[in-house]
Structure 1
Amino acid sequence: MTTTTPRSLISRWPAWAGYAAALWSLSYGLLGVAWALGAPGFPWGTSDPDLDGALSILADATPRPGGWWIAAFGLLSTVVALTLARTGRSDRVGPIRHAQTATHGRGLASLTPLLLAWLMAVLLIIVIPDSRLMMGVAYSPVLAVAPLFDLNVNGTTLADAWPWPVVNQLVCVLGGVLLAAAALAYQRRRREACRTCGRTGQDGWTAPEAAARWGRRAVYIAATVPLVYCATRWCWALGVPLGVSKEFLVEGARDAPGIWLAGAYLATFGAGGGVLTLGLAQRWGEVFPRWILGLRGRRVPPLLAIIPATLVAIIVTVAGMTYIRGAIAGRFSMAEWGAWLPETLWPLWGGALAAAALAYHLRRRGQCRHCGQGAGRRPSPQLV
């Protein structure tokens, strides 16, 4: 059984994820202290352009006591991250084969930091951010090239798409990802699995053949759900009031000229992402097709598909949760269902896309260089 220590920083992520999460937590907690003591830059409340509270769940927060709550959260998450990093720590990267080598317990005490870490990760990744993350990502390409081609974007710049309160949301997502990574590394140690690949020798639903089956269903869901939203925005750009009144379209065009074309652009952006999602279950998602000059026939690096899919899964889920909160708060009217109901399906889109990316990873990973499992794995199962 191969248990050599990986040398690259990325391959050693299970060893440093907990410490990175602790560093982030401590740093953000200190920011909370600074804001509570009067330092500028508190990213919510009156400092946030979302003054009506329609987007951010923390729209009513103030530097005091908000800063102290952030400091307390940072302290708690630092302790949790360090606990995850130190408990059951081993220099081995392969699976633990003997019970006496495992220094962690299996009772409630060992579950508590794990559950706290996952809850904190969900809070930072899904709950605190809002739909402006998706808007910033979607419109940044256009805003970046607008000055070069003299495009009319009503004076909007990249700085307008990414004000500090929205950039802060990215910082929160980063912290959540680090906590999730720390929790996953700890979970692998607790299951006596390989630190690097997570295998235990019993594949089950993670086997390539099984992942191909459930991953294909996830791909179809992820590619279909956004089309409901796309249909409304394309119709509005053409002057067809699908799901809204004619007055809604007229007033929107009058108050913000070009808004329906912008909506059609965003819909096309989503539809294009749906088409790319199909690659997670098709051959051209593993080998570059012939029409891509210079890359034809070459193997697609797995991370080239997994990283964008995961990021998109996060931002569309966050955006969908924003609309769900608005619907629960009674901010929307059923008479104008086209303006909000399709967006409430986005968490389903994000969940399916995350599952499709995971299945793609499970299908494409080969033999683990550190534990030796996966040796002699057959090529990817038949794809659609």
Structure 2
Amino acid sequence: METTTPPRLKNLALAGTLLALAAGALWTLRPETVPYAGTSEVLLGTWLPQDRLGLPLLVASLLGTAALTAGSRLPRAAFGGVATAEAATLLVGYQGSATMPTFGYALAMCIPVLLVVVGALAIVRMPRWRVPLLGLTAGVVAAGAWSGVLTWSNVRSTLGAIVGKLADSPFFFANLATVAVGLAWVALLVTTFPGAVRRATGWVTRHRRGFTVGAILCAAPYGLARLMWLTPWPLENLLDTSTRLELDDSTRLWGLMLGSACLLGAILTSGLISRWGEVFPRWIPGYAGRPVPVALAAVPGFTVATALLAGAPSMMAINIDGTLQGWLVALLVFPFAPWGILLGLAVWGYLGHRQVQHAAVTTQLAAVPR
């Protein structure tokens, strides 16, 4: 298997696969340690009982470890098959209804900190925006306090409930680990067939703006649905008039955090086709004018795209009830499948664009007389 795989990536994938191998062996020998409260939380759980849920992970990890250990002695086609099976097992088989909430909760918890840090930097480093930003901040805080939603007790109870739920949920860490190792295997697969990937990258790069705009638009419905929790008309009540959803202030605040997470995600996605997504803006101290590391956009972008695609089947199953309304809700309000596909293609196009830029700079430097 002669590939362009960096040794660091191979070592990282091997370490993750060995951890998956240990987890698969533990779950097989002691089924009570399987970190999923119900087998419906992962796709494989629809076919296997909980006491057999560790077997696919054990077998796939054994194959992956053997393939990585064999190295160049293994034909490239065979390694590609193993890498595909490994990635499918980790990113499809062991994902399900818990995947998207896991990443959604984690991102929403970061929103208050990110807003404070970014807002403070913008106020200090951008004098023209100082007064509008301070006025907007004061208005949001005043409106939240007046409505009774944004109070210290609600903030504390909401964050405490989220932290407690994540800490008490073993699948939180299992989801993070399986997604991380699965993405490492995807990277191995990409470096194994550079020619095919290079040709596809050219097409994706040419259409990256359309993919990025589509991903931004997909973030709007879900974010709007959660922000409507702040109003007297939650979307759930508008869709089903036979029942009325009553939300307490803590839940409304949680809706604000989720909606803000979607808004932040849309803004960050727009950076894939913006100048500030390639060079740090001048208001970021210490990094102004420096190139943005490609991994800073690629790693979280591909991770979120994977989480969206992994959570899409369960969200569609929950909302599709055979009626037209169910299909509309699944496709328009929770468009996780197209959102994940478009976001993945947008990040891929961003990578291709940055590679073209790097090649152009390298060519210019080579032409400079020495």
Same fold (TM over 0.5): yes
- Equivalent residue of 1:289, what SS? coil
Question: Does the 8 Å contact 1:320/1:343 carry over to 2?
Answer: no
Q: Is it true that 1:35 corresponds to 2:13 in the alignment?
A: no
Question: Does the 8 Å contact 2:87/2:186 carry over to 1?
Answer: yes
Match of 2:216 in 1: 223
| CA separation of 1:152 and 1:171: change in aligned 2, threshold 3 A | same
Q: Is it true that 1:363 corresponds to 2:353 in the alignment?
A: yes
CA distance in 1, matches of 2:242, 2:249: 15
Question: Does the 8 Å contact 1:23/1:78 carry over to 2?
Answer: no
Question: Does the 8 Å contact 2:215/2:339 carry over to 1?
Answer: yes
Question: Does the 8 Å contact 2:221/2:332 carry over to 1?
Answer: yes
- Equivalent residue of 2:239, what SS? coil
| CA separation of 1:80 and 1:294: change in aligned 2, threshold 3 A | closer
CA-CA distance at 1:276 after TM superposition: 1.8
| CA separation of 1:211 and 1:283: change in aligned 2, threshold 3 A | farther
CA-CA distance at 1:142 after TM superposition: 6.1
Alignment RMSD (CA, Å)? 3.6
Match of 1:272 in 2: 264
| CA separation of 1:300 and 1:36: change in aligned 2, threshold 3 A | closer
CA distance in 1, matches of 2:27, 2:255: 37
Question: Does the 8 Å contact 2:319/2:327 carry over to 1?
Answer: no
- Equivalent residue of 2:156, what SS? coil
Of 136-145 and 260-269, more deviation after overlay is shown by 136-145
Question: Does the 8 Å contact 1:134/1:319 carry over to 2?
Answer: no
Question: Does the 8 Å contact 1:17/1:179 carry over to 2?
Answer: no
Question: Does the 8 Å contact 1:316/1:347 carry over to 2?
Answer: yes
Match of 1:92 in 2: none
How do 1:251-270 and structure 2 match up within 5 A?
Answer: 251-253=245-247, 258-270=250-262
CA-CA distance at 1:64 after TM superposition: 3.0
CA distance in 1, matches of 2:328, 2:246: 14
Match of 1:297 in 2: 289
Match of 1:72 in 2: 59
- Equivalent residue of 1:43, what SS? coil
Q: Is it true that 1:177 corresponds to 2:183 in the alignment?
A: yes
Which consecutive residues of structure 2, in runs of 5 or more, have no partner in the other structure? 115-151, 366-370
Match of 1:136 in 2: 105
| CA separation of 1:340 and 1:314: change in aligned 2, threshold 3 A | same
CA distance in 2, matches of 1:291, 1:257: 35
Q: Which amino acid aligns with 1:71?
A: L
| CA separation of 1:292 and 1:185: change in aligned 2, threshold 3 A | closer
Q: Which amino acid aligns with 1:219?
A: T
| CA separation of 1:237 and 1:33: change in aligned 2, threshold 3 A | same
Question: Does the 8 Å contact 1:21/1:78 carry over to 2?
Answer: no
CA-CA distance at 1:246 after TM superposition: 4.7
Q: Which of these residues, 340, 345, 360, is aligned with residue 350 of structure 1?
A: 340
| CA separation of 1:239 and 1:245: change in aligned 2, threshold 3 A | farther
- Equivalent residue of 1:287, what SS? coil
Question: Does the 8 Å contact 1:81/1:117 carry over to 2?
Answer: no
How do 1:1-384 and structure 2 match up within 5 A?
Answer: 14-38=6-30, 41-44=33-36, 48=37, 51=38, 53=40, 55-59=41-45, 62=49, 64-83=51-70, 85-87=71-73, 104=75, 110-129=76-95, 130-141=99-110, 151-154=155-158, 155-162=160-167, 163-188=169-194, 191=195, 206-207=201-202, 213-242=206-235, 243-246=238-241, 248=243, 250-253=244-247, 258-327=250-319, 330=321, 340-342=330-332, 344-365=334-355, 375-376=362-363
Match of 1:94 in 2: none
Question: Does the 8 Å contact 1:222/1:277 carry over to 2?
Answer: yes
| CA separation of 1:236 and 1:333: change in aligned 2, threshold 3 A | farther
The alignment's TM-score, normalised by the length of structure 2, stands at 0.70
State the aligned residue count. 316
Question: Does the 8 Å contact 2:67/2:79 carry over to 1?
Answer: yes
| CA separation of 1:350 and 1:27: change in aligned 2, threshold 3 A | same
- Equivalent residue of 1:156, what SS? helix
CA-CA distance at 1:360 after TM superposition: 1.5
Question: Does the 8 Å contact 2:63/2:82 carry over to 1?
Answer: no
Question: Does the 8 Å contact 1:289/1:296 carry over to 2?
Answer: yes
CA distance in 1, matches of 2:69, 2:360: 29
Which consecutive residues of structure 1, in runs of 5 or more, have no partner in the other structure? 1-11, 89-103, 105-109, 379-384
Question: Does the 8 Å contact 1:314/1:350 carry over to 2?
Answer: yes
| CA separation of 1:86 and 1:278: change in aligned 2, threshold 3 A | same
- CA deviation string 1:199-244 (max 9, x = no partner): 6xxxx5645xx66531111111111111122232233421224452
Of 212-221 and 158-167, more deviation after overlay is shown by 158-167
CA-CA distance at 1:362 after TM superposition: 1.6
CA-CA distance at 1:304 after TM superposition: 2.3
Question: Does the 8 Å contact 1:36/1:63 carry over to 2?
Answer: no
- CA deviation string 1:114-160 (max 9, x = no partner): 13322321331244222232233223326989xxx662335414242
Of 312-321 and 14-23, more deviation after overlay is shown by 14-23
- CA deviation string 1:24-48 (max 9, x = no partner): 334323333333333753212xxx2
- CA deviation string 1:93-133 (max 9, x = no partner): xxxxxxxxxxx5xxxxx434313322321331244222232
The alignment's TM-score, normalised by the length of structure 1, stands at 0.68
- Equivalent residue of 1:131, what SS? helix
Q: Hey, which of these two has a bigger chunk of helix by percent? A: 2
